[in-house]
Amino acid sequence: MWFEITLALVLLLVVLLYVYLAYRYRYWLRHGVVYVKPSPILGNLGSLLRMQCTSAHMIQAIYHYPEAEDRPFVGIYLFHRPALLLRDPELIKRILSKDFPKFSNRFSNSDCFGDPLGSLNLFFLKNPYWKEIRLKLTPFFSSGKLKQMFPLVEEVGLNLNEYLLKMPLNGENSFQLELKELCALYTTDVIATVAFGIQANSFKYPNGEFRRNGREIFRFSTRRALNFSVVFFLPHLVPYLGIKVVSPKQTEFLRSTMTRVLEEREKSGIRRHDLIDILIDFKNQTKNQPRQDDLKFEGDLLVAQAAIFFTAGFESTSATMSFALYELAKHSEMQERLRKEVRDVLRQSRGKITQQIIESLEYMQMIIDETLRLYPPLPFLDRECSLPKGQSYSLEPFHSFSIPAGMPVYIPVYAVHMDPKYFPHPHEFQPERFSPERRKLITPYTYMPFGLGPHACIGERFAMLQSKVGLLNFLRNHRVTLADTSVKSIKLDPKALILQSQGGIHLNVIRDPLKY
């Protein structure tokens, strides 16, 4: 009797679930929008959640959905939830820039109670708090601040050069290295000294606190990969599943380190013109200001801004540098041209590196820009229609559909970068695309490795400075070639939501000092 009742209830629930999903999966059909046929339960996320491909390639496949060809957008399903993937540069411009106030928040999110450093930082924070904190942090990345930072970055760059010169050589005047980790040692030290006034000494202590904890934050196990997929595609489940962008161990390290530095700096009154100074000023300016909300500019809110600068600052730049060196190893003529540019500027300056010299490296800029086209750190951008509940955003003249409040919208950065319509022969490494003459011909809103619009990466100029100083100091005494262990083409790690090379980047490093 009880078995029959239980079985009947289970069957009823299955039928109700089927009817509910059947109705939900007809959403785009009802609105006359071309959509990618969803799989039961998982919607269009099946290949990502099963880790059959990277997020970049999953979204690229949706972008190239045959029935959506020449359509400005295509409908998708995140499990049962409808979402839009944009395909037209003009529409992307509207969402990211022109009508930014209506799409000012990211759809992705973390748990503000269980993961304060993950949820309160500038990347995940929602309006109006995001706008206020962005405004306060912007001065840290001004031209004047970059000029003040340069000697600190240059010092770490010289440490990178010294580290490489101390590497033991084999009979061919060379040695092998995994370049991603090497570049991460460099960028970790840059962030530590520039932002927090701390000497991390990662070249001497590669398993020191800063490098060890930074490495763990971006180590994508199967579980962590699933957690990040939830953060970006199913953020409403984050609090219920106990998911954290910054794990408890790394939270404790970052919180204790940053809190100690903040307290010591406040007591000493010493100013280094770094991020800590900015955060202290931020705290003091808002301490006595009456607020109608309960957000206090102290404690974890301040630490979260330091944490995102640390994590985003070392990971994205180290990936870009290592991908660039890999492409240079594959294209020896480009590497020689770049080394010639480095030799010429060092000859003119008698070996002294200045910010002006770094900014004059035109071909290096082209190399980095093309690297970021092929390997954008974050392969997609996410936004949410931020209008009040009950309102919607019209997509006229593209379509009669209006985006309702709360609907997620995705911009397929990697897919657009790899679209031959905008970048002919997209799989080929062609720095000339970004020469001063040809750069003007690039269709607006088709190149966006740092995002575009008000929500674009606040540290773009700093990332460029850091990359150029690092590459110059690498190439001034060394060049790279493919090693026996090198892959013929980069295979992206399907567990990593951001772009990471599976198995690292192993190259042969040859001692070859430039003569200047």
Alpha carbon distances (Å) from 350 to 193, 226, 284, 342, 357: 26, 52, 45, 12, 12
Q: Which one, of 468, 492, 231, lies nearest residue 360 by Cα? A: 468
Q: How far apart are CA 73 and CA 172, in angstroms?
A: 54
Q: How far apart are CA 205 and CA 163, in angstroms?
A: 12
CB atoms within 10 A of CB 454: 13
Q: How far apart are CA 265 and CA 440, in angstroms?
A: 45
Cα diameter, the chain: 92
Q: How far apart are CA 191 and CA 200, in angstroms?
A: 9
Amino acid at 135: L
Q: How far apart are CA 396 and CA 105, in angstroms?
A: 22
Residue whose tokens read 């640390």: 310
Tokens (6 digits) for 290: 């009456």
Dihedral Cα 419, 381, 181, 171, nearest 10 deg:
10
Q: 232 in helix, strand or coil? A: helix
Q: What are phi and psi of 16, to 5 degrees?
A: -65, -40
Alpha carbon distances (Å) from 147 to 50, 151, 278, 305, 446: 46, 8, 16, 22, 30
Residue whose tokens read 């959403």: 27
Residue 112 annotated as part of some ligand binding site:
no
Tokens (6 digits) for 328: 């240079």
Q: How far apart are CA 165 and CA 427, in angstroms?
A: 34
Q: Which one, of 489, 467, 482, 485, lies nearest residue 160 by Cα? A: 467
Q: How far apart are CA 123 and CA 101, in angstroms?
A: 16
Tokens (6 digits) for 444: 């607006």
Contact present, 406 and 384 (Cβ < 8 Å): yes
Amino acid at 3: F
Helical residues (DSSP H) of 296-412, grouped into ranges? 300-330, 332-348, 355-359, 362-374
Q: Which one, of 451, 452, 450, lies nearest residue 462 by Cα? A: 450
Contact present, 319 and 136 (Cβ < 8 Å): no
Q: From the CA atom positions of the chain, what is the Rg in Å?
A: 24
Length of the chain: 516
Contact present, 38 and 44 (Cβ < 8 Å): yes
Q: Which residues make up each annotated binding site? A: 457
Q: Which residues make up each annotated binding site for heme? A: 457
